[in-house]
Structure 1
Amino acid sequence: MRQKFFVLILSALICNGIIYFYFNVGLLFMVLLTIILLIGLANSIQHKHAILRNFPVLGYFRYLFEMIAPEIQQYFIERSTDGKPFSRNERSLVYQRAKNIDSTTPFGTQLNLKEHHYEGIKHSIFPAVVNEELPRITIGGKDCLQPYSASLLNISAMSFGSLSENAIMALNKGALKGNFYHNTGEGGLTEFHQQGGDVT
């Protein structure tokens, strides 16, 4: 490859010299070719880097791509769910919460739900045995004066402003029937939240 480099660069210099001699143009290009030739000569006689010795000028591109390889991997190849120890999605979630920005992402998950280590709730294709009592957890440790039992599944925060009064009443009565909590949301407590009984 060294021989091809010198043949090409010298041929280009000779052609450029002829053009400059007859037409008085191309001086800057000739200076540039001379600099490249000197770099190639210096690299061809050094013994420290084999790549630069065999590829006197093109070898620099190898080091350039090696230097920016992590950025190429991060911005063009790596998916938002890849990356160790934390993925881009996990980092974005931390940044958003640290800046008090809404961290909710719509349109479902980007994770592979079929992986064996995926944690989530999936529909069963076979009928399941219905528990007589739904699982609950006690809130409050041994030093808590008023511990209370909470259901693992509850109604999340949906304000009255985003739902109708009938929807609120239906949710509240369902919470009473299932003996779990009904979060009123940022809209606060209304009379429709109390149709089923006590609201927490």
Structure 2
Amino acid sequence: MYTAHVRTKALALLQQGDSLSAVARATGVARSTIREWRDCEPRNRPGACPRCDALPIDQEAYAALLGFYLGDGHLAKAARYYFLRITCDLAHPRIIDDVVDLLGRIRPGGKIFIVRKPGCVDVQLNWQHLTCLFPQHGPGRKHERTITLEDWQEEIVTAHPGPFLRGLFHSDGCRVNNWATRVVAGEKKRYEYGR
């Protein structure tokens, strides 16, 4: 897997008129890979990555999915790919549907799995490029290490704070109403608000 910088450099050399062999020698990338880059539109390639291939990403869906990942998401390595699992409560089927939809919008054409467990399900996506989209992945538990958003993630979250918060609240939020009383203008009033 090559970075977007290497791919851009190779394609620029091709546009200057260099041969496939010359570009392969200059970049260290196989001729067949350079030919595929030249002949295949990244969006149409299976496994195309928004980060590596500099493709547009559904920012609203990504913001919500980032919230779900930071809440109840788990990213791990399998033999040939990474898998993202987001645990959802069976009592809230619309949230499960939301997570399935978000994964489909981030990885169009990707197979999404539902893994049933007692009282919950894991919504799972397998893909080699998950660490490109979730660079916060690392050893150990998320709550025991520092989580810092990269600049491009901060831009997305700033542009779409509602979906990001929706992902956080639906994954880790408590669905209980708190209440409080307060005397206003001599009258005792009760206020209810979601926790």
TM-score by length of 1: 0.24
Which protein shows a greater Rg?
1
TM-score by length of 2: 0.25
